[in-house]
């Protein structure tokens, strides 16, 4: 059995025991939920129970939940669905500059279809400029705005409730990507007031390939992709029945544990930020307090993050790094560039339910010595290259 310490919970989480139990219990629900025979009714019952659990966890109504294949599809459905349904009202969209690639990618696809997309800048911590956001959504022809709940790389929390309020005052539909916060922080759609909200099952202990989109009643949304009558014609294709059941079980279990886990994760990431901050030339990114509880992002500008991650992997630590947009460890981060830190590829730590205090302590003991070792190797390599390139004075 692997003794590695998994610290990449910002990317994916192991299957929660409750999700595994629900998955196995529902795996034989193979019938088409649209059919009236007993197998179809069984699948529909499992599906609707899952939909209700997810709705309850968001303080929503069950008919406001669209089941999707994951967070990326939820985002695409939100942006494309509103854009197509409201095309006659305008062709402008406003998004934050540090949104997840699935948001920026969906927005770029709409740009190719004739929409105008404006990116609102962020400050040095990654928080969106609300004054500029308010000005942009008031421009004529704006039909949709999207601001994430928390950033996927640096963890900074966005002022979502304020952005939603401003959007409603401007009569603009508002979407938020809550994939990093669902199951980790309380999400009440009545309090936050988004018109659309995306979540992804594998982030909080559900299986991969399942997600959901909250669509506030009365929000115009064209089906995408179109094709059949499923999900109230908002999304076509056979539903992942057992996946939905597992996601709902993981969500309910995560919410039951949320207070204790969030407090524990904040304590762990506080320790990580303090320890990493003592490493010479290490730079912490994101807001120090207004952040998701589970993420820590930092960079070592003089070292290749791919080398750092591989060296940590050899020592039993699984971390993420580089740009989330590409997954390439040494590729500079567009998120950091938008925050004014250009040409830098970060390292990201994500703690989770199975992360022990001893795991964090061990990492903080290993990392400083590893950084010194890599820097000595880098300096030795540079000196060797310099000597090889120097002209031979004896000739």
**54-111 per-position pLDDT tens digit:** 999 999 999 999 999 999 999 999 999 999 999 999 999 999 999 999 999 999 999 9
Strand residues in 36-120 grouped as ranges (E): 65-68, 92-96, 116-120
DSSP, residue by residue, 132-196: HHHHHHTSTTEEEEE--SB-TTT-BBP-HHHHHHHHHHTT-EEEEE-TTTBTTB---HHHH--SE
Q: How confident is the model at residue 381 (pLDDT cuts 50, 70, 90)?
A: low
Q: How confident is the model at residue 393 (pLDDT cuts 50, 70, 90)?
A: very low
CATH of domain 258-383: 3.90.1150.10
Per-residue exposure over 114-149, b if at least 16 CB sit within 10 Å of its own CB, e if not: ebebbbbebeebbbbeeeebbebbeeeebbbbbbbb
Residue 162 has pLDDT above 80, yes or no: yes
Beta bridge pairs of residue 119: 95
Q: What is the pLDDT of residue 151?
A: 98
**352-363 per-position pLDDT tens digit:** 999 999 999 999
Percent of the chain clearing pLDDT 90 (strictly above): 87
What is the chain's mean pLDDT, rounded?
Answer: 93
Q: How confident is the model at residue 379 (pLDDT cuts 50, 70, 90)?
A: confident
Q: What is the pLDDT of residue 384?
A: 59
Which of 217-226, 327-336, 377-386 bottoms out in mean pLDDT, i.e. has the lowest? 377-386
Domains of the chain, by residue range, sit at 17-253, 258-383
Neighbouring residues of 291: CB distance < 8 A, sequence distance ≥ 6 = 150, 154, 155, 156, 157, 269
Percent of the chain clearing pLDDT 70 (strictly above): 93
Q: What is the pLDDT of residue 387?
A: 61
Structure-model confidence comparison of residues 213 and 392, the more confident one: 213
CATH of domain 17-253: 3.40.640.10
Residue 323 has pLDDT above 70, yes or no: no
Mean pLDDT of 318-329: 73
Per-residue exposure over 219-240, b if at least 16 CB sit within 10 Å of its own CB, e if not: bebbbbeeeeebbeebbeeebb
Which of 20-24, 212-216, 274-278, 373-377 bottoms out in mean pLDDT, i.e. has the lowest? 373-377
Q: How confident is the model at residue 389 (pLDDT cuts 50, 70, 90)?
A: low
Q: How confident is the model at residue 169 (pLDDT cuts 50, 70, 90)?
A: very high
**246-278 per-position pLDDT tens digit:** 999 999 999 999 999 999 999 999 999 999 999
Q: How confident is the model at residue 51 (pLDDT cuts 50, 70, 90)?
A: very high
pTM of the model: 0.93
């Amino acid at each position: 059995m692997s003794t590695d310490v998994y610290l990449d919970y910002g990317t994916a989480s192991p299957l929660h025991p409750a999700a595994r139990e629900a998955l196995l219990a529902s795996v034989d629900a193979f019938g088409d939920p649209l059919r009236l025979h007993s197998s179809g009714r069984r699948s529909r019952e499992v599906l609707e129970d899952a939909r209700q659990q997810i709705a309850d966890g968001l303080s929503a109504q069950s008919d406001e939940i669209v089941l999707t294949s994951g967070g990326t599809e939820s985002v695409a459905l939100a942006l494309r669905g509103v854009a197509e349904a409201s095309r006659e009202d305008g062709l402008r969209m406003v998004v934050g500059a540090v949104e997840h690639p699935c948001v920026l990618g969906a927005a770029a696809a709409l740009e190719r279809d004739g929409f105008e997309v404006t990116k609102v800048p962020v400050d040095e911590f990654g928080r969106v400029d609300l004054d500029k956001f308010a000005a942009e959504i008031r421009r004529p022809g704006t039909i949709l705005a999207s601001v994430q709940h928390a950033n996927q790389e640096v963890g900074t929390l966005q002022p979502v409730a304020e952005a939603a309020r401003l959007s409603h005052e401007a009569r603009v539909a508002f979407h938020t990507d809550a994939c990093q916060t669902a199951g980790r922080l309380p999400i009440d759609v009545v309090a936050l007031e988004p018109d659309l909200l995306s979540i992804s099952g594998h982030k909080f202990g559900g299986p991969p390939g399942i997600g959901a989109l909250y669509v506030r009643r009365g929000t115009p949304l064209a089906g995408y992709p179109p094709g059949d009558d499923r999900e109230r014609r908002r999304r076509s294709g056979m539903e992942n029945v057992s996946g939905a059941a597992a996601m709902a079980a993981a969500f309910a279990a995560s919410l039951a544990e949320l207070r204790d886990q969030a407090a524990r994760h904040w304590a762990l990431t506080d320790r990580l930020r303090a320890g990493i901050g003592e490493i010479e030339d290490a730079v912490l990114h994101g807001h120090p307090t207004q952040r998701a509880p589970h993420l820590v992002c930092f960079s070592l500008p003089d070292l290749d993050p791919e080398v750092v991650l591989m060296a940590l992997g050899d020592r039993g630590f699984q971390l993420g790094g580089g740009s989330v947009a590409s997954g390439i460890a040494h590729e500079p981060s567009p998120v950091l560039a938008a925050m004014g830190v250009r040409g830098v590829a970060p390292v990201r730590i994500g703690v989770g339910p199975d992360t022990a205090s001893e795991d964090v302590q061990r990492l903080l003991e290993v990392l400083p010595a590893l950084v010194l070792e890599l820097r000595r190797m880098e300096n030795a390599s540079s000196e060797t290259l310099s000597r090889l390139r120097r002209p031979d004075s004896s000739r």
